[in-house]
Amino acid sequence: MKAITVNTDYSLTAEEQETPVPGPNEILIKVQCAGVNRADLMQRRGFYPPPPGASKILGLECSGIVESVGRNCERFRGGDSVCALLSGGGYAEYVAVDEGSVLPMPVGFSFEQAASIPEVFATAWLNLFDKGELKKNSNVLIHAGASGVGTAATQLCRVYESRPWVTVGSQFKLKKCMELGAVDGAVRTAADFWDRVGSFPSPSRYDIILDPVGGAYLEANLSLLNPKGRLIIIGLMSGSKGNLNLSEVLTKRIKIIGSTLRNRSLLEKASLMNMLEKEVWPKLISGEILPVVEAIYPFAEAEKAHELMASNKTIGKIILSK
């Protein structure tokens, strides 16, 4: 099969690789589309290696057609249209994945739309509801609100009757986030950025902060949380070190939670995907929630897709398509 390979100079090229053979509990998917994630850029540079046993090929989500199934698989059959959460391997003609990480494509969705769902909605759901304990009428601050995870999290907050605020890179992005359901937001380059972020949910502050930025935002994030607030760190775009006011953590009884999805167990991922099918799939099919796709590139132009991702000019997802 053809797969996108990372060369020693970090460039991307299509090379022949062995087609994976599905194990007893795995589905072999003929990939039609794959989502591009910032984690792919990190892995490409050697900063985010796949978990032990996972494919070294880039790609954390895909859509496609079931080619074959392992002997223990019961739900899917050859020819079914599916999308999947992956530990790796999406940038290829075929990928093998545990059946528990596979869901049927939402009715009426294209392969491009379906490939934009698994990673970002699983990440958003995991961190808002499981780790963040999101409840009705919560105040939520979503950093990088125009990202794939940010646009998913904003919509989930809206449909579950909480109030999302966002931080973004431009006024245009803020406008788009508000169209998705954000109450308001702040542009990170503005001189009054933190003052504006702190002024939104007056007189209270935030119950949950979802943060892919990391170190540079740590101290300010803590000051913005309500008592018993939850800071959920899902990325380290600004680095891994920051100032930590422990007295604030103690007196406000703040929870600081580090969270990644890729290295969770297959059982955890299966449970999460079951929850998405139960709670999110009906809202996708009804149109209450929509996947946000910025651009679609052929697999042969994966390099261009990565360049666009690195530019920080996108809203929502970038997709690779056959």
2-117+262-321 and 120-258 share one CATH topology? Answer: no
pLDDT of residue 238: 83
User: What one-character-per-residue DSSP string does 136-167 give?
Assistant: TT-EEEETTTTBHHHHHHHHHHHHTT-EEEEE
Give the model confidence (pLDDT) of 118-160 as tens digits: 999 999 999 999 999 999 999 999 999 999 999 999 999 999 9
Q: What are the structural domain ranges in the chain?
A: 2-117+262-321, 120-258
pLDDT greater at residue 247 or residue 292: 292
- How many angstroms separate the CA atoms of 290 and 114, rounded? 10
- How many angstroms separate the CA atoms of 155 and 116, rounded? 14
- How many angstroms separate the CA atoms of 90 and 94, rounded? 8
pLDDT of residue 239: 80
- How many angstroms separate the CA atoms of 146 and 274, rounded? 26
**29: CB partners within 8 A, 6+ apart:** 62, 64, 65, 66, 67, 82, 84, 94, 95, 96, 97, 102
* Strand locations in 248-316 (E): 255-258, 293-298
CA 45 to chain centre: 19
Question: Is residue 102 over pLDDT 90?
Answer: yes
pLDDT of residue 243: 86
pTM of the model: 0.95
Q: What is the CA radius of gyration of the chain?
A: 19
- Residue 237 parent element (H or E): none
Give the model confidence (pLDDT) of 23-66 as tens digits: 999 999 999 999 999 999 999 999 999 999 999 999 999 999 99
DSSP-derived secondary structure letter, 50: P
Tell which CATH architecture fits domain 2-117+262-321: Alpha-Beta Complex (3.90)
Q: Does domain 120-258 have CATH number 1.20.1530.20?
A: no
CA 322 to chain centre: 22
